[in-house]
Chains A and B, each alone.
Chain A
Amino acid sequence: MTDQVFTIALLGNPNCGKTSLFNLLTGSRQRTGNMAGVTVTGREGEREHRGVTLRFVDLPGIYSLSHNRVEERVARDYLFETPPDLVLNVLDAGNLARNLALTTQLLEQQLPSLIAVNMLDEAEAQGITLDCDSLAKLLDVPVLPSDGRKPRYLDLLLDTIVDHLHLCAPAQALEIGYEKHVEGALTRLSETGLKRWQAVQALESGGDVAFVLYDEQQTLLQQEIKQLESYHDDSAAQLIAEGRYGFIHGLMHNSGSDHDEISFAEHWLDSLVLNRWLGFPVFVCLLWLMFESTFTLGAYPADWIDATVSGLGQWLANALPEGLLRDVLVDGLIAGVGGVLVFLPNVVLLFTFIAIMEQSGYMARAAFLTDRLMSRVGLHGKAFVPLVMGFGCNVPAIMATRTIEEPRARLITILINPFMSCSARLPVYVLLAGIFFADRAGTVMFGIYMLGILMAFTVAAILSRTLPTQHDESFIMELPPWRIPTLRSLLLHVWDKAGDFLSKIGGVILVGSLLIWLLQTFPQNADQSYLEQLGHLLAPLFAPLGLGWQETVALLSGFIAKEVIAATLAVVYQMGEHDMAGLQAALLAGLAPAAGLALMVFTLLYMPCLATIAVIRRETGSWRWALLSILLGLVLAWVGAFITYKLGSLWL
């Protein structure tokens, strides 16, 4: 047992591999992606090493401690209010100069730091040399190589962390010589009682700092900032940044690292993916390919699962004596849970594709390609990531909108997110498309997803014209270098998602199927079960859409979680049938193709599930928007399904 606990904060530029390193250090599985802004709030994990407990905190990636964006404030306030025992400053070797700018801020602030240089092999491949030892000597802090993707440097890193923690001598504050007018301002600010780093940070951020500035300090500060602007054409922040980079270039020169401006080497993939004429068509093709293969590749393992589940059902049906127990197991549990379990391969595949897009760096490029379209409807290229994450699950997707700074663009992105069809709705599409449009199921699914996107954009356009306008945030984004996703991180990520799906099956879907079975079975010996009565009560509402009472109750049950829709259909239709083929035949007999399509459209658009409503409420801070989201969904779903049914009846 250990009694010593140390807190270590991981800090670094966005996309420098902090979260991968954090995962390696703590053994936990956090979502990582090759895209800025994947870590939104600080996360924690623990590890024991050589008798001490190390508590790691993963902070959001930032470029600077003196800039006023949400992630930067989170990191800055954390470091000021609860100073960790050690800051593990993670650097990307491929872009060392910019990464070191943040390091100089840390060292100026005299925070106990240790530098881990990530992506060394990537940098070496680009011909960049780096001498960690001489860098360490010049900066007077340990500098170690690290790699979040390979554990080979891990022990050395942990040893050094523990050694450094036991060493209590505080490092000397780094002092960078700035331009002479800046130095003058710093001296005058220091005379009011500010430390040098505080004066630097105040000048750099225009007074938006974590520590308290008294009125007279604030006045002096604004005066100095104005004066600096009048001496030079540059702002105080620009002058200080130039000082930092001057220092860094000297540092890199003296440590034998490359400091020349090597012109950016273009990757061959970019000349295709970002080609002015090909870029967008390639993007659409990739999306189509993703849905097509989700369906076709997923079909094989789905068949195996289906065979196993129906075999189990058969076996139970034969082994158990006739009665309620057999019915609840076979018609309730196996039918309901099995009906959703079949879609595990599809869900896994979809998440795999999304993870590949994120980790390779394509997602950021897609944001770039779609920015123009997004800005037409009052959105932002950065809204692209939360929207694509919505294909997985709307709940984390809505949380990921926190990277969008501008409140109005963020609100719109939250409200349209439920139209991005989450993986819970996938089973319904796969089921229905497989029955009614067997030979073009992939295309129909692609169409449904496109309809969702179209609806999202339409709603966004309307909202952006009705909500009060604000100054548009500029779209400034760094494109990450291409990276090949490692099998390990892909597997971890997908395993996590599959686990979520399975625990949902064990939880809400299990309970839901049993409840549906109860309502379906009781009262016994009556003309109509409770479920049928409820369905018939509400059926008139759904009759214009071509849907019967069975679909009505299925949709009703989907309020809890969308997967339950497929489970309910399975329970309701599956009396006496124990495999997918039976359910398909029953649905085909009971529903017109146009009505099947209408059911898919309704499932796509109608109100978000309970978890999503809760997260909308939390992220927007009011029930008003959650309520709007429900109403909007219901109205659009009904109208959309109605039109689909009417048009579909003409053609299908």
Chain B
Amino acid sequence: MTLTDVTKKQTCRIRAISGPDALRQRLTALGVMRGQKVRLSASTLWGNPRTYAIGRQQICLRNEDACMVEVEPCDD
């Protein structure tokens, strides 16, 4: 599953980030990387872009970019 599938009630962990170099570089710079916990925190009327709670920050991503981030559900 990817970041776009994450729901508000679910906490996930990032497995891998793919996509163009610029995107990967940008996300890395913001501290978004493998192993981090992610939760959906807000969505707009159109369902795109969305805001995710990642670590101690809230990051806005368009779905076109969010689908490049592969995640898996985590239990704790």
Query: Which residues of A approach B to under 8 Å, CB–CB?
Result: 63-64, 67-68, 94-95, 97-98, 101, 206, 233-235, 237-238, 241-242, 245, 261-264, 266, 270, 274-277, 279-280, 368-369, 371-372, 375, 381, 474-479
Cβ-defined partner of A372 (8 Å) among B28, B41, B49, B53: B49
The answer to whether A233 touches B16 (Cβ under 8 A) is yes
Contact indicator A368/B39 (Cβ below 8 Å): no
CB<8 Å pairs between A and B, sample of 30: A67-B25, A67-B26, A67-B29, A95-B57, A98-B30, A98-B57, A206-B21, A234-B34, A235-B24, A237-B25, A245-B31, A245-B33, A261-B55, A261-B56, A262-B56, A264-B41, A270-B41, A270-B42, A274-B51, A276-B42, A280-B44, A368-B42, A372-B46, A474-B23, A474-B65, A476-B30, A478-B57, A478-B59, A478-B60, A479-B60
User: How far does the alpha carbon of A474 sit from the alpha carbon of B29 in the complex, in Å?
Assistant: 14
Assembled-state Cα–Cα distance A386/B30 (Å): 23
Assembled-state Cα–Cα distance A379/B2 (Å): 26
Check B34 against A372 for contact (C-beta < 8 Å): no
Q: How far is the CA of A101 from the CA of B28 in the complex (A)?
A: 10
Classify the interface of chain B: helix, strand, loop or mixed.
Answer: mixed
In the bound complex, residues from chain A placing their C-beta under 8 Å from that of B25 are: 67-68, 235, 237
What is the interface of chain B, defined by CB distance below 8 A to chain A? 11, 16-18, 21-31, 33-34, 36-37, 39, 41-49, 51, 53-62, 64-65
Q: Give the CA-CA distance A63 to B57 in the complex, in Å.
A: 14
The distance in angstroms between the C-alpha atoms of A270 and B61, with both chains bound, is 17
In the complex the two chains form, is B33's CB within 8 Å of A242's CB? yes
The 10 closest A-B pairs by CB, nearest first: A264-B53, A274-B42, A98-B31, A63-B29, A479-B58, A372-B46, A241-B28, A477-B60, A64-B29, A474-B65
Nearest neighbor of A371 in chain B, beta-carbon distance:
B49
Known A-B contacts A63-B29, A476-B65; A95 and B45 likewise in contact (beta carbons under 8 Å): no
- Cα A63 to Cα B33 in complex, Å, equals 14
**Nearest Cβ on chain B to A612's Cβ, whole angstroms:** 30
B55: A residues at CB distance < 8 A: 95, 97-98, 261, 264
User: Are the CB atoms of A235 and B21 closer together than 8 Å?
Assistant: yes
Residues of A within 8 A of B22 (CB): 474
Q: Are A97 and B64 in contact (CB under 8 A)?
A: no
Report Cα–Cα, A371/B45, bound state, in Å.
11
Give, as a whole number of angstroms, the nearest-CB distance from B54 to chain A: 8
CA distance A469 to B39 in the complex (A): 34
What separation, in Å, do the CA atoms of A98 and B58 have in the docked complex?
13
A175 vs B58: C-alpha distance in the bound complex, in angstroms? 31
CA of A237 to CA of B62, assembled, Å? 22
Give, as a whole number of angstroms, the nearest-CB distance from A637 to chain B: 32
Q: What is the bound-complex CA distance between A551 and B33, given in angstroms?
A: 61
Given that A67-B25, A264-B55, A371-B44 are contacting pairs, would A101 and B60 also be in contact in the complex, using a CB cutoff of 8 Å? no
Nearest CB of A to B36, in Å: 7
* A279 and B50 alpha carbons, distance in the complex (Å): 13
Partner of A476, one of B11, B45, B61: B61
Inter-chain contacts of B17 with A (CB < 8 A)? 234, 238
B9: min CB distance to chain A, Å:
13
Nearest CB in chain A: distance from B25 CB, A: 5
Q: How far is the CB of B12 from chain A (nearest CB, A)?
A: 12
Which of B21, B30, B33, B39 is in CB contact (< 8 Å) with A264? B39
Bound complex: CA A64 to CA B55 (Å): 18
Min CB distance, A198 to chain B, in Å?
18
Report Cα–Cα, A67/B27, bound state, in Å.
Answer: 11
Of the candidates B28, B30, B51, the one having the most CB atoms from chain A within 10 angstroms of its own CB is B28
Given contacts A266-B53, A372-B46, A479-B60, contact A237 B65 (CB under 8 A): no
Residues A264 and B56 in contact, CB atoms below 8 Å apart: yes
Q: How far is the CB of B15 from chain A (nearest CB, A)?
A: 10
Closest B residue to A405 by CB, please name it.
B22
Knowing A266-B41, A270-B41, say if A476 contacts B31 (CB, 8 Å).
no
- Are B56 and A476 neighbours in the complex by a CB distance under 8 Å? no
Please give, as numbers and ranges, the residues of chain A lying within 8 Å of B54 by CB-CB distance. Answer: 264
Contact B33 A476 (CB under 8 A): no
Closest to B42 in A: A274
In whole angstroms, what is the CA distance A56 to B61 when docked?
A: 35
Tell me the nearest residue of chain A to B45, going by C-beta.
A280
